Amino acid sequence: MVIQLSGFTPSRISGKQQGRQPVGVQNKMNRKIPLEKLRNIGIIAHIDAGKTTTTERILFYTGRTYKIGQVDEGTATMDWMVQEQERGITITAACTTCLWRDFNINVIDTPGHVDFTVEVERSLKVLDGAVIVFCAVGGVEPQSETVWRQADRYEVPRVAFVNKMDRTGSNFFDTIEQMHKKLGANAAAIQIPYGSEESFKGCIDLIEKKTVIYKDDLGKDFEISEDIPADYQEQARKYHDILIEKLAEVDEEIMDKFAHGKDMSVSDIKKAIRRMVLKNKFVPVLCGSSLKNKGTQPLLDAICDYLPSPVEVPAIKGINPDTSEYEEISAADDAPFCALCFKVATDPYVGKLNFVRVYSGVLSSGSYVYNTSKRERERVVKMVRMHANRQEIIDEITTGDIAALVGLKETKTGDTLCEEENHMLIEAMRFPEPVIQQAIETKTKYDQEKLGLALHKLQDEDPSFRVNYNQETGQTIIAGMGQLHLEVMIDRILREFNVEAHVGQPQVAYRETITKKIISTGKFIQQSGGRGQYGHVVLSMQPQDMPGKGITFEDKIKSGAIPREYIPSVKQGVMEAGRSGILSGYPVTDIEVMLVDGSFHEVDSSEMAFKMAAAMAFNDGLRKAHSILLEPIMDIEVIVPEEFMGTVIGDLNSRRGKIVNLASRANVRAIRAYIPLAEMFNYATIVRSLTQGRASYTMEPSFYAEVPSHISEKVIGGFATSGSKR
């Protein structure tokens, strides 16, 4: 089944070739579906909450697929990678498109595992709305909080779907209560479950006061009753009143009617919900069981009714490189073309695929685009609409579309594409620093070139995957967001790129920083006959007031002690020196560096001399300021049966863990703790053996903390030993 979002005209040429005719003006009336009827949404949640299963049901009920894919069987459409099918998890965000009622819905299914949180980050950057899926048993879990904060950061309107209502221990109302307490969400049910656990039959609509009862296993045969069952009427009345109260807190029209006792129609309530969802002041909550095919159709209705179209979200802002001022990019086909590349993937047949979100204008296949980030002109050879890993060739993309472009050579994740005459720069995405690393080397020289190509492609695809060469040990080091992240990358290197390689044991990505404010001096003087080299800088170095800022550089030079043309070289010298600390060669972080003084020689000074002087001053400052080692601390939650709780807590304490919370969930206990990453390698095997395989855990990076002195000495000693062996 081929679905097109817009009317396409294959003969379209770019604005430059037309002598600056308004872009796409002739196509505006050709849209088969108006821009107001377009929804760009993401499905995001904690691991194993049922995101992919929910997406599979959306595809089935909208007619996009004719067979329901199952995650457990490895047949899910959206989990197309071999690694996803083997592990039963989502690794990469997959895009698709479908039709419901008279709406076009572009869907991105995202991973839940924290190791692949970058996929959620870049998806939220380009989406207009999101469906947050919660497990009715687990409630608001750690990664639920993470994705919620990400959605807050990008101000993405959302609806909530409480999944797995058929599971033993499911509690719809407790999940909403956790949303209030843990997320600070102004959330209220617009449905309540009809039945619970094994007897879950459907849902009761609190707005239209109807009951939806599912009759068959496929979820296609359902009955809508105009009445609410007698034994649910009191509960329905209670939660209907709560819904109105929650809306009245944020919506003036509902508050006015509520305060004066006026009647509220179904239309009044739905309009108020939509208004407040668009303003990010309210979250409607639905329920269902995706695995048992219950609740998907009302969720699709909620996506269409309450989430925004591209014209209903605040206009995205970009920087005009000519004026350095912010300008709004209007969501319209007759505006200049502007899009953001949010993902790069490698296809074995067509090469590199650049996934883009179009914010304005129209672009045709075969035309040229201008990459403002790289200041390069590139040609779009082909355009495809993606359905997971399957491609549908299209002739044109228009405002609001999410598609993939073929033929771009220089474009990377975060780059802005636009017209050369109307170039704009959209703020790029920020990606987290890796917390774990390991060495990789090829078995033969023949594989060395293949490894380099594989690592280059994987870095293009995943900005949280880093590669560097360690000069001390002569090893290639790969770094990522967790053990699973690196396992998947290594598996892809071996399978997809046919590289035979050895890998070392995973290592913690430590950091170095300083503990006090100091002044340091660096002088680089060299005389070798003829012209010499002279650079002299004085740096003020102090710890950052807030962690996570990295190294910042500020020029405080007065009265021309150092000429302006040498200042960038000083900054470059500081930043390059910060890549490798003095204790154990790990990157330096969280230091505020100020250039306060220095001197120059009219003949001998050069950019290279000042760069060397800055590096010397920086390293001298690290020694003077008592540089210390930092380690990543993980936020871990272990779900464990009551009888094993003491054993698990004892084990966590032995691993330098700090217990921060104990909570009850149905018939299990949830242990929340902060624990160093260095103590958590192979923890999955350990916790299973401690609990007879009945415990599970999730973990995500939280912050960096100083390494205890006895462990720091071992790390530094190990580095010194390996360095001496070289």
Any idea where the domains of the chain sit in the sequence? 37-306, 317-426, 436-499, 515-626, 630-711
Distance CA 567, CA 79 (A): 50
Distance CA 107, CA 84 (A): 18
Predicted pLDDT of residue 84: 61
DSSP type of residue 472: T
Residue 343 CA, distance from chain mean position = 11
Q: What is the mean pLDDT of residues 129-139?
A: 93
Highest mean pLDDT among 37-46, 89-98, 523-532: 37-46
| Cα-based angle 291, 292, 296 (whole degrees, multiple of 5) | 80
Fold topology of 630-711:
Alpha-Beta Plaits (3.30.70)
Predicted pLDDT of residue 14: 33
β-strand 501-503 against 283-287: which pairing, if any?
Answer: unpaired
Fold topology of 436-499:
Alpha-Beta Plaits (3.30.70)
Highest CATH level, class, for 515-626: alpha beta
DSSP 67-127: S---TTTT--SS--SHHHHHHTS--S-EEEEEEETTEEEEEEE---SGGGHHHHHHHHHH-
Q: How confident is the model at residue 23 (pLDDT cuts 50, 70, 90)?
A: very low
Beta bridge partners, 383, equal: 394, 405
**630-711 and 436-499 share a CATH fold:** yes
Q: How confident is the model at residue 224 (pLDDT cuts 50, 70, 90)?
A: confident
H or E element in which residue 131 lies: strand 129-135
Contact in structure between 317 and 329 (CB atoms under 8 Å): yes
CATH number, span 37-306: 3.40.50.300
Q: How confident is the model at residue 684 (pLDDT cuts 50, 70, 90)?
A: confident
Q: Give the CA distances from residue 500 to residues 197, 446, 476, 493, in Å, rounded to whole numbers and listed in that order.
A: 49, 9, 14, 8
Predicted pLDDT of residue 502: 87
Distance CA 458, CA 434 (A): 15
Distance CA 6, CA 537 (A): 60
Residue 352, amino acid: K
Distance CA 20, CA 10 (A): 19
Q: What is the mean pLDDT of residues 249-277?
A: 91
Highest CATH level, class, for 317-426: mainly beta
Q: How confident is the model at residue 89 (pLDDT cuts 50, 70, 90)?
A: low
Predicted pLDDT of residue 528: 67
pLDDT > 90: percent of the chain: 43
Residue 537 CA, distance from chain mean position = 40
Chain segment 622-665, per-residue pLDDT in tens: 999 989 999 989 888 888 888 899 999 999 999 999 999 998 87
DSSP type of residue 679: G
Can you give the pTM of this predicted structure? 0.74
**Which two structure tokens, joined as six digits, stand for 540?**
């003020």
Closest of 6, 1, 5, 13 to residue 379, by C-alpha: 13
Predicted pLDDT of residue 321: 84
Rounded to the nearest 10 degrees, the angle between the axes of helix 266-278 and helix 252-259 is: 140
Predicted pLDDT of residue 402: 92
Distance CA 157, CA 427 (A): 20
**Backbone phi, then psi, for 660, in 5-degree steps?**
-115, -20
Predicted pLDDT of residue 281: 95
Distance CA 639, CA 645 (A): 9
Predicted pLDDT of residue 82: 65
Distance CA 506, CA 440 (A): 10
Query: Exposed, middle or buried by CB within 10 Å (0-12, 13-18, 19+), for 38?
Result: buried
Predicted pLDDT of residue 83: 66
Distance CA 355, CA 94 (A): 11
Beta bridge partners, 511, equal: 630
